[in-house]
Amino acid sequence: MVSIKTFDQATDLENPRRVLKYVLVFCTSGTTTISVDENEFILTENAVITITSGQIHYFKNIRNATGFVLEFTYAFFCKDDNDMELIFHNGLFCHFAMNEMITVDHPEIIVRELEEISKEITETPYQYLISIHSRIELILIEINRTKINRGDEIYKPDALFLHFLETTLQNFEKNLSVNEIAALIGTTESKLNELSKLHTNKTAQNVIFGLVISEAKRLFTYEKLSVKEVAYALGFNDPFYFSNFFKKHTEISPKSFKGKAVNL
């Protein structure tokens, strides 16, 4: 549900892993390199990076730095639409490979709240989960303020669109249509297309295709699955059809992509 570690307690993160949790990494001193999906980031003092649920990540030199790794589930944090919109505000925890390193304006605020979260988890006082939720909100607000202060354009996502993304991610193996997802979340295909156009300038179906391709790359690169295994994991009954789908959207065949994948 929610956990926190210091860098020296998180040496297991030197191996690639994926969790269905949102991960916030804050560096308090030193420098470390963190790999997220296909990208690498050099995390420096007073910098933070947010990693969305399902992204593959690992540290390359975690012992050269100090800091915190905070993890929490979607169910723990997203109690209502406001929570959902906050967690994705300004691209934080975004599902479209928008990870970035952000050096915060007031690191003492982040450190204080992370230390208090650690204390709450350890001591479990009355209503400690409510306290932790509020402290995560404060951390995200401080990160957003930093982004706005440096001149970033405000990006405020719609909660229904985020629910669409989460439902897609949780049901890859079912290969759901836009209409089926709309029915699951209590809306219409037309509304999902409207929101997708607004947020990504793509149709809802193409948003799904993008998420599927990202997932396929993770399965090829880090879980070393065969083309057939990836096809079935993503709800394709025909591996040949999946191969054509992958090549159409990446301009490279699954076999060629596997050959170029990082050898971990």
Domains and CATH numbers, the chain: 2-149 (2.60.120.280), 159-260 (1.10.10.60)
- Please, which residues have CB within 8 angstroms of residue 77's CB and are 6 or more apart in sequence? 22, 83, 87, 133, 136
* pTM attached to this predicted model: 0.87
Comparing C-alpha atoms, which of 175, 107, 130 is closest to residue 1? 130
DSSP secondary structure of 97-141: S----EE-S-HHHHHHHHHHHHHHHHH--TTHHHHHHHHHHHHHH
Distances 186 to 162, 180, 191 between C-alpha atoms, Å = 13, 10, 10
Q: Report the C-alpha gap between 38 and 162 in whole angstroms.
A: 23
pLDDT at 264: 46
β-sheet bridge partners, residue 3: 71
Low-confidence ranges of the chain (pLDDT < 50): 264
pLDDT at 153: 84
Q: Report the C-alpha gap between 167 and 161 in whole angstroms.
A: 10
Comparing C-alpha atoms, which of 192, 160, 179, 152 is closest to residue 84? 160
